[in-house]
Structure 1
Amino acid sequence: MAKGNVTVSEIKTEENENSAVSEEYAYLDRGGFSSEKYKIEVRGLPKFYGIAELKKLMNQKLSLNTSKIKRPKNGSHWLYACFQNDEERTKAIEALNGYSWKGKTLIAEVAKPAPDPLVRKRKQEEDSNGQEKKKKEDSNKSQEERLADATTPYWNVPYDEQLKLKEKEIKHILMKFDNEIWKIAKERRTSIEAQRKNHNGLSFELKPIQKSPVTEGYRNKCEFTVGIDEETKLPTVGFRLGSYATGTVAVAPIQSLIHISEPTKKAVLLFQEFVRASGLAPFSPADYSGHWRCLTVRHSHHSGDIMLIVTMHPQDLTPEGLGKIKKELAEHFSSDESVACNVKSVYFELFTKRRVGEDAAKPEYVTGATHIVDTILGRQFRISPQAFFQINTAGADILYQSAIELSQVTKESTIVDICCGTGTIGLCFAKHCGKVLGLELIAEAVKDAKANAELNNIENCEFFTGKAEDILPSVLARATGEDIIAIVDPPRAGLHTRAVTQLRNTKKVKRLIYISCSPASAVKNFIDLSRPSSKTLRGAPFLPVRAVPVDMFPHTKHVELAILFEREEKSTPDLVETTPQVEDNIPNENVNVECKNENHVSI
């Protein structure tokens, strides 16, 4: 039977398609805030800019209330910005569209929300072609192999070949940096070209990659997800087989992974037993139901001690119910089996919307020791639940020793450790220099740094709390002598532009060691340190002299990089000293503002 020129089957097909489309966007009306709901696309961005700069433009200068910025991996000339409601989104479009920033005119428009990846993937698999494609992709790979591919993509590549691949990638990144400097520093082109003949195409020396002393079971910190194993259908503590964005929420066990230590694997199984016996379901990112969210395991490779941080979503649990769970956790991890596994410390935290600084959720102590202790270059460091600590302890020995050698430090030197975390780098430098001045955003980390100095009987170190871009001038004012060396080990995104400006404009900083766990993300910092002087960057540039890649992450694509920059020697007429008086600018050490991001180690 027909209705006009449209058949009943066509009407039903259209209704089914509309129903499927609405299902893909049903998550927008589900409980909880989604950053996809009020999203805009911003195009026409400049070639080089920092996310921190863009946030400052939006949130401070234009008084916008941005909840999230999503920049694509491939390309930086456009991005998405998300807001809390339609009114804020409309305000953002009016403010940004046509706005001139860094010589570029921005374009801002409403962006459609992304469809639910899980729903879309299910629809594709229901299609016969999708099923055949999926079977073809998965037929030859076990769940163990798929998990290894997701977490350690080089797991089946010989280690020497891994190092060659990483060296090639590092050189590619540094060539990109070198070429940018060649473009913008016209007066240095002759020198750059001459140096390239000596350094195999680079204007500075790239040392051979340093091997990790250990390649298996090297991670001293892992963050595991609690979810459902798609094979056993049981609650499992492990790693995702893929991201939610790819339509994957299944969790696979980690017993076969080569980069996780055996004690960590045993601790994971102990917690998995607890989860399965609890009667509470794992948290589901698909519909926000369930309780158990994740488990963080910190393992001291020096003492063997293990710290656990259990995270759960409270849902409708009462305080009494939560108290019962914490009591059961304490009992479970006081068992003989747990003691044999060296679980020495247990913390508990509730999952809430991710926040930083004073508003961030703090893990609650449950049982055992409040800290565990590990060792780098003979120095002992206490590790608290949220403390930053290099995830490859043996590799950190190599990385920090490389930094010491690059720096040409002497007993007359003052080290300024920027984003010092719990003081690991500065305290390793302490016996080689006259003084160490550390600055760090997180107040708890500064407390740990001071405790670590006391633990190692080190008296020539001082640590300060605050944003690097805010307190760096005042900390530098405390530096005495002629040989001031800055050490920078920032979060993955790099150092704030204002901090780079302060370093450039402080002429007594002669050398700088930049350590990066994501060199590709730090290229903008490298360029700003090295670009010619300007009205903003008044100080003479820092020129790259030597770079040392260190493999801290065997079987993955990640690599750590340390670069020595030296201040250009030629005199600069408008080089100025911008360090104000000390007593007026060091904030109270209880001020809680952030520099080191814990995500720095979540690789």
Structure 2
Amino acid sequence: MTENNDTKPKIETESTENTGLKEEYAYLDRGGFSSEKFKIELRGLPKFYGIAELKKLMNQKLGLNTSKIKRPKNGSHWLFACFQNEEERSKAITALNGFSWKGKTLIAEVAKPAPDPLVRKRKLEEEGTGPDKKKGDENNKSQEERLKDATIPYWNVPYEEQLKLKEKEIRNILMKYDNEVWKINKERRDEIEAKRKLHNGLSFDLKPIVPSPVIEGYRNKCEFTVGIDDETKKPTVGFRLGSYVTGTVGVAPIQSLNHISDQTKKAVLIFQEFVRKSNLAPFSPADYSGYWRYLTVRHSKFNGEIMLIIALHPQALTTEELEKLKADLKEHFNSDETAACGIKSIYYELIIKKRVGEDGSKPIHLMGSTHIIDVILGRQFRISPEAFFQVNTAGAEILYQNAIDLSQTTSDSTVIDICCGTGTIGLCFAKHCGRVLGVELVSEAVRDARANAELNCLDNCEFFAGRAEDALPSVMARAGGDQLVAVVDPPRAGLHMRAITQLRNTKKVKRLIYISCSPASAVKNFVDLARASSKTLRGAPFTPVRAVPVDMFPYTKHVELVVLFERESEATLKSPSEEDVNITMDDNKEINSKDEQNTEAELDVNMVQNET
């Protein structure tokens, strides 16, 4: 923990030692914005708090304007908060220093910026004390092996063994969930113990992991970095060997990686050829110079069509120079080689560091089709540059079919597809239920979902834009009937607590399918779904019945998990204990503060419907 109140370390230029120190902080004066430049250290934080909760305090209640919050690895009661300029930083220190929050008095001070990790690493290596000097056998690995270790850590593990490792990890995660529920639901401990005897140590049924139908070249989307290959010293389109914070900026070619298709690799080489013959250097994260940033390749497994999204930093290029560059790109990709590779759609994107409150850049169509088409369970889906689509198409069919089978939907069921994206899950459910209502934050994805429903001639699906926690009350009210099945496929961080609360309090939802790409992160949601009823969580808890792990990412440590939750009978409910009330008291305050926003969310949903 630093106690230094200086914005920068004091640097004396006379000595060689201080000259080296100056180099470590030279990045602060290069003109580009760095979150390290206007940083504060915030100490005295309470034992239990969330980053989202802290941001709400700082930005909404205190009217501050944080650009980033950094929690150090070795501390939970202190962290760094970054701002855009000195005025905003000073305002934050004045507001936070001495402020009482959750019974704790906060301490806010100017924080010393971190040294440039790349410069520091090189300096240590010159002195013979760098981290690479201490790695032993790791330092003897080839670049290809290091790349495989970073991207597909199970590259040298037989597939059957990979499945065993993933199945073991899932069991460990679910046991943590079970133990947490056992701790907070004292009156149910005997019941949990009895179920564990039936299900091999868990209180519910865990099915064997389902293998991926395809294990080689399965990825339909990859984002590649443009940089310099440490071995050839040439501009290369590939993957970074490490992060900048570890002092690594080198990019390695991807031809040896077996989870990327040959067609994608060819597309990468075609673009790499253009980068190398251009007079524009790759972007350098060390000094913010250069142009080429990254290349995203989307590959339809249905018809082999490929979409490219080319991203660059324009630096000081004039409008005329940018137009010339676009014309050169069109000429380069208007070739027999491009056609043979299946490249059908090309976008470009200008990447400039955005300020707080500004919208990020968007891909701009350059040539070819505006979308490519892929297919899951017989449904066609148009894929736009930013659309979410499972990266393993064949695996997605297995994943969604398991979700459908677990749901036990009928023609009388209404499926509420939460975090629906471009509608892939809901549209696959459509022929197995009476109606699908989807909710998604990203309005562009909602437009794609509606287009996909039309593409598949489905008239029992509706999609609405809005945050799940805000839009759910209105969408649930539209559902009608008593057979509601919720399907949840949230981002890695999981659902907001208010969305969990809406699901708990909508008693017509009897069954819930939770699909998670990060089961460890989803455990908190699982626990809140199963928590005993309280003043906030008024509806009966959801109890897990069956879980199915599906391997969507061969050669990596990641695995998808589908869990069926069923609502307990109201007859089994007991009055909430004092402990339960205390646990949810803060959430209750947050829900009450959102009552007026729910009405506003309903208006938003109606407006979206009218746009249709």
**Same fold by TM-score greater than 0.5:** yes
For 1:493, the aligned partner's letter is A
SS in 1 for 2:347: strand
For 2:209, the aligned partner's letter is I
1: CA distance, partners of 2:161 / 2:566: 32
133 and 370 in structure 1: CA distance in 2 versus 1, 3 angstrom threshold: same
CA contact (8 A) 1:465 1:588 kept: no
Deviation at 1:39, TM superposition (A): 2.5
The aligned counterpart of 1:589 is: 608
Deviation at 1:430, TM superposition (A): 0.4
The aligned counterpart of 2:373 is: 373
For 1:247, the aligned partner's letter is G
The aligned counterpart of 2:307 is: 307
The aligned counterpart of 2:160 is: 160
1:212 aligns with 2:231: no
The aligned counterpart of 2:467 is: 467
486 and 197 in structure 1: CA distance in 2 versus 1, 3 angstrom threshold: same
SS in 1 for 2:520: helix
Deviation at 1:533, TM superposition (A): 2.1
SS in 1 for 2:361: coil
Q: What is the CA deviation profile of residues 145-165 of structure 1, one whole-angstrom value per residue up to 9, with x for unaligned ones?
A: 111111111111111111111
CA contact (8 A) 2:466 2:604 kept: no
Q: What is the CA deviation profile of residues 409-461 of structure 1, one whole-angstrom value per residue up to 9, with x for unaligned ones?
A: 11111100111110000000000001000011111111111111111111110
The aligned counterpart of 2:240 is: 240
92 and 420 in structure 1: CA distance in 2 versus 1, 3 angstrom threshold: same
Deviation at 1:407, TM superposition (A): 1.4
Q: How does 1:451-530 map to 2 (within 5 A)?
A: 451-530=451-530
Matched residues, percent identical? Answer: 75
SS in 2 for 1:345: strand
CA contact (8 A) 1:443 1:591 kept: no
1:568 aligns with 2:568: yes
Q: What is the CA deviation profile of residues 300-351 of structure 1, one whole-angstrom value per residue up to 9, with x for unaligned ones?
A: 0110000000000000001111111111111211100000000000001100
337-346 or 78-87, which deviates more: 78-87
Q: How does 1:32-431 map to 2 (within 5 A)?
A: 32-42=32-42, 50-71=50-71, 78-96=78-96, 108-130=108-130, 133=133, 136-137=136-137, 140-353=140-353, 359-431=359-431
SS in 2 for 1:381: strand
CA contact (8 A) 1:67 1:84 kept: yes
Q: What is the CA deviation profile of residues 509-540 of structure 1, one whole-angstrom value per residue up to 9, with x for unaligned ones?
A: 11211111112222222222222222322222
CA contact (8 A) 1:48 1:524 kept: no
Q: What is the CA deviation profile of residues 5-57 of structure 1, one whole-angstrom value per residue up to 9, with x for unaligned ones?
A: xxxxxxx9993332222221221222111112223344565676554333223
For 1:205, the aligned partner's letter is D
Deviation at 1:480, TM superposition (A): 1.8
Q: What is the CA deviation profile of residues 368-395 of structure 1, one whole-angstrom value per residue up to 9, with x for unaligned ones?
A: 1110000111111000001000000011
CA contact (8 A) 2:122 2:130 kept: no
1: CA distance, partners of 2:344 / 2:131: 47
TM-score normalised per structure 2: 0.89
SS in 1 for 2:608: coil
Deviation at 1:582, TM superposition (A): 9.6
SS in 2 for 1:224: strand
1: CA distance, partners of 2:383 / 2:356: 19
2: CA distance, partners of 1:156 / 1:279: 39
SS in 2 for 1:495: coil
43 and 131 in structure 1: CA distance in 2 versus 1, 3 angstrom threshold: closer
1: CA distance, partners of 2:440 / 2:119: 43
2: CA distance, partners of 1:378 / 1:488: 22
CA contact (8 A) 1:307 1:346 kept: yes
Deviation at 1:209, TM superposition (A): 1.2
1: CA distance, partners of 2:610 / 2:320: 33
487 and 246 in structure 1: CA distance in 2 versus 1, 3 angstrom threshold: same
The aligned counterpart of 1:601 is: none
2: CA distance, partners of 1:543 / 1:43: 39
CA contact (8 A) 2:533 2:574 kept: no
SS in 2 for 1:586: helix
2: CA distance, partners of 1:547 / 1:117: 43
CA contact (8 A) 1:52 1:496 kept: no
1: CA distance, partners of 2:453 / 2:395: 22
403-412 or 374-383, which deviates more: 403-412
Report the count of equivalent residues.
Answer: 581
CA contact (8 A) 1:471 1:587 kept: no
145 and 390 in structure 1: CA distance in 2 versus 1, 3 angstrom threshold: same
30 and 585 in structure 1: CA distance in 2 versus 1, 3 angstrom threshold: closer
SS in 2 for 1:297: strand
CA RMSD in angstroms comes to 2.8
209-218 or 580-589, which deviates more: 580-589
1:537 aligns with 2:556: no
SS in 2 for 1:349: strand
130 and 35 in structure 1: CA distance in 2 versus 1, 3 angstrom threshold: closer
2: CA distance, partners of 1:581 / 1:311: 37
1: CA distance, partners of 2:208 / 2:165: 12
80 and 370 in structure 1: CA distance in 2 versus 1, 3 angstrom threshold: same
SS in 1 for 2:140: coil
Deviation at 1:258, TM superposition (A): 0.7
171 and 534 in structure 1: CA distance in 2 versus 1, 3 angstrom threshold: same
484-493 or 20-29, which deviates more: 20-29
SS in 2 for 1:463: strand
Structure 2: state its 5+ residue gaps.
Answer: 1-11, 577-587
Return the structure number with greater relative CO, CA threshold 8 A, min gap 6. 1
The aligned counterpart of 1:450 is: 450
Q: What is the CA deviation profile of residues 473-495 of structure 1, one whole-angstrom value per residue up to 9, with x for unaligned ones?
A: 10111112111111111111111
Q: What is the CA deviation profile of residues 527-558 of structure 1, one whole-angstrom value per residue up to 9, with x for unaligned ones?
A: 22222222322222222222211111111111
CA contact (8 A) 1:466 1:587 kept: no
